[in-house]
């Protein structure tokens, strides 16, 4: 029973499913800045994770009355299911908010602006008087292109050495394009008859491919051997998964993107470990 309550509490925070999303955007932002410091990377990630948890808890609190009568299968609400009390959720919301603000104040004034922007975004998406999350593209389960952009920028501007605007633009477009495509796939699974999806998927995929080419082939925030490792890890995961499946699954596209995301997180962590080892040696 205790384990079930802990699982419900983590579900309230959007964890652990949302952890790769926050890690992917945060680590990529730290690599784009090309001046990674362990303490700064950790603080930027903690700030982003607190923002993410704040958004998830606020979403579950705001949606609890509706989810009580029409629960969502893709995003279960532990408050409406009676697994987490409203008081506990509000305490978690308060601590997530305070943690994100403290982290932002310890980083820079730009991080403060980005953190307040994320708070305003959360209010706009889920406040009962606005509810922008009713828009299919702006809905937020575990991934969101706008939060992804904020997490990336938070990690970039956390470092003392900051790249030029053009060097920030294409990684930002890469993250936005990837998670827009991710969201369009989620909508396609839920509403296959939606007419605007094919156009949106084409636009998102185009932005993703162009931004990825410029970011990783021209700007080179990471060496080419790391991209090869990223591809290799993705291929290994996919080969293991597909060898155990005999039939086509409609969720395969989403699974492909999750594999891409998870492999990217592992790849970025490997590279940062190499950087820190070389730094300590020198």
Please report, for the chain, the start and end positions of each structural domain, with discontinuous segments joined by +: 2-164
* pLDDT attached to residue 209: 93
pLDDT of residue 160: 77
Non-local (6+) Cβ contacts of 53 within 8 A are 13, 14, 15, 92, 96
Average pLDDT of the chain is: 87
- Residue listed under structure tokens 């950087």: 275
Q: At which residue do the structure tokens 């978690």 appear?
A: 92
Q: What is the DSSP letter of 219?
A: I
Query: Which of 64-73, 110-119, 225-234, 266-275 is predicted with the least confidence, judged by mean pLDDT?
Result: 64-73
pTM (two decimals): 0.92
Q: Closest by alpha carbon to 29, among 276, 264, 277, 231?
A: 264
Q: Does residue 20 carry a pLDDT above 80?
A: yes
Considering only residues 220 and 74, tell me which one the structure prediction assigns the higher pLDDT: 220
pLDDT band (50, 70, 90) for residue 80? confident
Q: What is the CATH number of domain 2-164?
A: 1.10.357.140
How many C-beta atoms surround the C-beta of residue 105 within 10 A?
Answer: 13
- Contact at 8 Å (CB) between 170 and 211? yes
Query: Residue 177: which of 138, 150, 146 has the closest Cα?
Result: 146
Q: Picking from 124-128, 190-194, 266-270, 273-277, which range would have the lowest pLDDT averaged per residue? A: 190-194
Strands (E), 144-276: none
Q: Enter the DSSP assignment of 214.
A: I
Q: Which two tokens stand for residue 66?
A: 């509706």
SS3 (DSSP) at 222:
coil
Q: What is the pLDDT of residues 99-128, one digit of tens each?
A: 999 999 999 899 999 999 999 999 999 988
State the Cα–Cα distance between residues 224 and 204, nearest whole angstrom.
Answer: 24
Q: What percent of the chain has pLDDT over 90?
A: 44
171, 198 contact by CB (below 8 A): no
170-183 mean pLDDT: 94
Residue 28 · residue 167 · CB < 8 Å: no
């Amino acid at each position: 029973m205790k384990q079930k309550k802990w699982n419900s509490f983590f579900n309230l925070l959007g964890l652990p499913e949302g952890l790769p999303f926050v890690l992917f955007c945060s680590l990529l932002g730290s690599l784009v800045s090309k001046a990674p410091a362990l303490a700064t990377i950790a603080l930027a990630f903690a700030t982003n994770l607190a923002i993410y948890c704040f958004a998830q808890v606020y979403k579950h609190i705001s949606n609890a009355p509706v989810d009580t009568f029409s629960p969502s299968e893709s995003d279960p609400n532990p408050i409406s299911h009676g697994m987490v009390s409203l008081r506990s959720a509000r305490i978690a919301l308060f601590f997530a908010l305070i943690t994100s603000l403290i982290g932002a104040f310890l980083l820079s004034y730009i991080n403060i602006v980005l953190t307040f922007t994320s708070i305003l975004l959360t209010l706009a998406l889920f406040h009962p008087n606005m509810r922008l999350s009713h828009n299919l593209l702006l809905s937020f389960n575990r991934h969101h292109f706008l939060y992804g952009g904020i997490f990336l920028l938070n990690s970039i501007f956390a470092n003392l050495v900051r790249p030029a605007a053009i060097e920030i633009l294409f990684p930002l477009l890469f993250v936005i394009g990837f998670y827009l495509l991710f969201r369009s796939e989620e909508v396609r699974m839920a509403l296959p008859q939606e007419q605007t999806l094919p156009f949106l998927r084409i636009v998102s995929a185009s932005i993703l491919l162009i931004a990825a080419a410029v970011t990783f082939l021209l700007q080179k925030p990471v060496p080419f051997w790391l991209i090869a490792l990223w591809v290799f890890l993705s291929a290994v995961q996919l080969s293991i998964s597909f060898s155990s499946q005999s039939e086509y699954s409609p969720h395969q596209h989403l699974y492909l993107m999750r594999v891409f995301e998870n492999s990217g997180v592992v790849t970025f962590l490997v590279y940062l470990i190499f950087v820190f080892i070389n730094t300590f040696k020198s």
